[in-house]
Amino acid sequence: MFILGGVAYEQQVSTDQEHLEETGTTMAPRTRDSLISWWKLKPHCLVYLLLALSYLLIIILFGIVISNELKLPSEVKKLHTQLQINNELFPCGSRSREWEYFHGGCYFFSVQDATWHTAKDHCEEKNSTLVVIHDLPKQNFLQSRTRGHRHWIGLTDENNEGQWRWIDGTSYRTSFKNWKTGEPNNYDRGEDCALMDGPGIWNDMSCNSKAFYVCEKPLPS
Ligand SMILES: [Ca+2]
Ligand SMILES: [Ca+2]
């Protein structure tokens, strides 16, 4: 086959060479005809090639979209489950794990002591306020968590002696109270800030004294 093919090729070359010599042209007729045909067909070939590539691209993109659509529900479900777990474990937010949840509110118990005004500033830096005690359940919760250590609360008569005010504007006169017997006594005429003393009962002390403190903020929506 190879030998026969080689003979045919040599014959063709010889024929083309003879033609070139006869006509004085520089290109064999069959080669020239082939090139002319190819140049005529070239635009059509390019169009078909581009169409084929376009279809292929569309099929690939369609496959990717379908694949993502199928993945999405499982990813959403996984995220939803993770959020539920986080909400159950950390209702005040997974990034606020030092905050404790109680009855719709979040509470921060300091591990360092500070003056009343510094404590107030620290709470505000955390987008919260010193705690306001509205009722006995909240008092009991705070009492159990403060474990007998002194903690500042958001109650002061600094602006007007004897006129106690909660820092969130809650009415002092009509609201819950838990003063220690004989308190507030404004001892030495210099006690204007309230704290939970000893077993949780309240006492007024100098605002410049140092104690731990409790901040509170609403449950994140
Ligand atoms: Ca006072
Ligand atoms: Ca006192």
As averages over each run of 10 residues, the pLDDT of the chain (221 residues) reads 47 55 59 70 80 91 82 78 72 84 95 98 97 96 95 98 96 95 95 94 98 94 76
- Locate the domains of the chain by residue range: 2-88, 99-218
Distance CA 55, CA 42 (A): 20
What's residue 46's pLDDT? Answer: 83
Fold (CATH) for 99-218: Mannose-Binding Protein A; Chain A (3.10.100)
Please name which ligand lies nearest the alpha carbon of 193: 1
Residue 93 is predicted with a pLDDT of 81
pLDDT the model gives residue 206: 98
- Per-residue model confidence (pLDDT) at position 4: 44
Backbone angle region of 163, left / alpha / beta, with phi > 0 → left and psi within -120 to 50 → alpha: beta
How far is ligand 2, taken at its centre, from the CA of residue 207, in Å?
11
CA 127 / ligand 2 centre spacing (Å):
29
201 Cα: distance to centroid of ligand 2 (angstroms): 11
The predicted pLDDT at position 3 comes to 44
Q: Under DSSP, is residue 29 helix (H, G, I), strand (E, B) or coil?
A: helix
